[in-house]
């Protein structure tokens, strides 16, 4: 089995699919050593390509999340909580007492 490097890097999804297929073949353990090494080498190339694509996507997301001219990286879970808090605050019709004042029952 000859694994040729491609001239144009594959799309992320194609690279990931090829990587999954390589892993399956390697896990079976029935490849001759030379083919296994070539498959492993191709897998490393695909992994690096996918990691680069993910880093580029992360950079784009961070640019989209810029606030006041500064990028603010927000963990996904925190972003979900902030979004939920903003939407509940927009629909909340109950009044809250000013800071420092207790509300009596």
Full pLDDT tens readout for the chain, 105 residues:
455 555 566 799 999 999 999 999 999 999 999 999 999 999 999 999 999 999 999 988 888 887 766 666 666 666 566 656 655 555 454 445 555 544 444
Collapse the DSSP code of 67 into the 3-class scheme (helix H, G, I; strand E, B; otherwise coil) and give the result.
strand
Cα angle 37, 38, 39; round to 5: 90
* Domains of the chain: residue spans and CATH: 12-85 (1.10.287)
**pLDDT given at position 64:** 82
Residues 18-33 pLDDT 10s: 999 999 999 999 999 9
The pTM score is 0.55
- Rounded Cα–Cα distance for residues 99 and 89 (Å): 16
Q: Which helix (H) or strand (E) holds 83?
A: helix 76-91
**pLDDT given at position 71:** 62
């Amino acid at each position: 089995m000859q694994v040729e490097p491609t001239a144009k890097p594959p799309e992320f999804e194609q690279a990931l699919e090829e990587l999954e297929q390589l892993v399956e073949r390697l896990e079976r353990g029935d490849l001759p050593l030379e083919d296994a090494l070539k498959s492993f080498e191709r897998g490393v190339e695909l992994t690096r390509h996918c990691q680069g694509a993910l880093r580029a996507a992360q950079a784009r997301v961070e640019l989209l999340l810029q606030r006041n001219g500064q990028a603010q990286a927000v963990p996904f879970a925190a972003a979900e909580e902030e979004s939920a808090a903003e939407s509940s605050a927009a629909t909340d019709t109950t009044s809250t007492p000013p800071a420092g004042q207790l509300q009596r029952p």
